[in-house]
Amino acid sequence: MHPPFGLRSNSVWTYLAFLALGWSVAFAPTAQATESEPATEKAAIERAADFERNRQWVDAIGLYEKALKQWPENPQLKYGLRRTRIQFSVDRRYADKSYTDGLTASSLDESLVFLDDALLKVRKYYVDTISPTAFIAHGTESLYVALTNEKFLAKNVSSASQRSIGAFRAMLRDRYWNRPCGSMEEARMVVTEVARSAYSELRIAPGAIVMEYVFGGCNALDEYSSFLTPGRLDDLYSNIEGEFVGIGIEMKAEAGKGMLLINVLSESPAEEGGAAPGDYIVAIDGINCLNMSTEEAAQHLQGTPDSRVRLDLKNPRTEQIRQTELSRRAVKVKSIPIVRIVDPANGIGYIKMTGFQKNSAAELDAALKDLRSQGMQALIWDLRGNPGGLLTAAVEVLDRFLDDGMIVSTKGRTQDQNWSYTATRGNDWNVPLVILVDGDSASASEIVAGAIHDHGRGVLVGRKTYGKWSVQSILPGRSSTGLRLTTAKFYSPNGNTYGKIGVEPDVQVPASSEQLTAYRGLRNENPEDDQDLAAGMNSLRRQLARR
């Protein structure tokens, strides 16, 4: 494992995140369910198929995932989820200009270099052993599905008939499905054959075919590993750095409604322009976006510093549409957007941390000093909805509360992935502590939860965490691309790892339908209206009373 260096173009970043997407967009659940859950496997499959026919990939993925929890062995649900994830990924790539204008335009020889690089890095760094056969098989499947994707076909297939496309897909299935590849050289030969056949029969440029193998091959890895376009890599770096150029929103497409604002960052152009979480963007510079994908809308929202964009915002409660014009600029992403005293009588402070970035430790120091000046005697540290971030940031913030012993350790396939992090003596914050967690507290948030629990340093309140206990390294590649690979697993001070399990809280609080967990910006509500916060305050009051 390598810590972050100063120059990002030559660096390997160690990153932990549930969802490593840019701050400008987010893939998140809606606040309220719009339909009842399917009662049978057949009903779930039929409804998911309706979503697929309408290219509502996010809704289809969500439904397949829920259905598989109830019927985990159903093969139609399993393949439906895999197929829909591929469609979603293809859509995202073809809404990314750094992909369509750059990578797919590569020649056969140029694009094969990307394939070689991906195969080599997976073999060398990935936490588990993945054969070239498995990698190429998933690439074949990705191409097979992409040949039914509207965006892929619109960009790459200008004259071929549906019959020709169907025949080519049949050929992929018959000749290349799970084709054995004993080496990287054989893998390269298979992809070269497919690319030449696709050009001969369908006139698809070789770069588009090879890139399906590069990106689709990563489906053989875990859900946290992927090949990154230049645009996605830049988004990820902006997330780590805590700064990007834009208007300061997180959003999610809802078919027929537009872009749901999941979060509006404080002190951002969007906040200054009156945008609020829960609003819908229905038009961008006069262009209707009711049925755009998140990525398509993001392309319209992006721009250079000081350029302007006009938004039509709809309030879903009043149905009123208002217009605002915003100027894009550098936006600082705060790790800790909310700092306050929630119980003045008992001196209970509260901080909301939404991510683990390079500046998180400095923000925490400033927040704690502010709360101490207001008479803080105990602290609630809210990690609900926090998807993670930098491993080093998690270690640094924990070091403020632990005086000795192990914080976290990592173990991977290679020696440089095996690290142990211990606390330094002399921390200043030995106050009673509550950590709020939920099912969206992941990765770096779980490092905090695991360490606080194992050391008996505080009380965990809320619901079981997500269960992502793996380390991703960001490996830069050619032409400003990158490869995000799971390179290690991490372990709590007692040697436990909770991947796909999650950390159980000490105090369980049932999820409330009134808590808008989908809106990352709505955590400044009245303490009495927040059941988790109320339970945390009660725990701290009991601790303070025993002193």
Q: Furthest-apart CA pair in the chain: how many Å?
A: 79
List the catalytic residue out of 24, 225, 409, 443: 443
Phi and psi based region of residue 358 (left: phi greater than 0; alpha: psi -120 to 50; beta: remaining): alpha
Does 440 qualify as catalytic in the annotation? no
* Chain centre to alpha carbon of residue 81: 18
Handedness of CA 535, 536, 537, 543 (dihedral sign): positive
- Beta partners for residue 419, in sequence order: 410
- Three-state secondary structure call for residue 507: strand
Instruction: Report the number of secondary-structure helices (H) and strands (E) in the chain.
Output: 17, 21
Residue keyed to tokens 């029969």: 201
Q: Strand, coil or helix: what is 511?
A: coil
Query: Positive or negative CA dihedral for 268, 273, 277, 279?
Result: negative
Q: Which residues pair with 311 in a beta bridge?
A: 284, 324
Specify whether the CB–CB gap between 219 and 86 falls below 8 A: yes
Q: At what angle do helices 132-146 and 206-217 cross, to 10 degrees?
A: 120
Q: Residue with structure tokens 């872009």?
A: 259
Q: Is 109 a catalytic residue?
A: no
Given the residues 314, 334, 352, 468, select the one marked as catalytic.
468
Let me know if 234 is exposed, middle or buried by CB neighbors in 10 A (0-12, 13-18, 19+): middle
Residue 96 CB contacts under 8 Å (≥ 6 apart), including other chains: 229, 231, 232, 295, 299
Cα–Cα distance measured from residue 241 to residue 330, given in angstroms and rounded to the nearest whole number = 12
Among 222, 235, 312, 454, the active-site one is 454
Active-site residues, by number, are 443, 454, 468
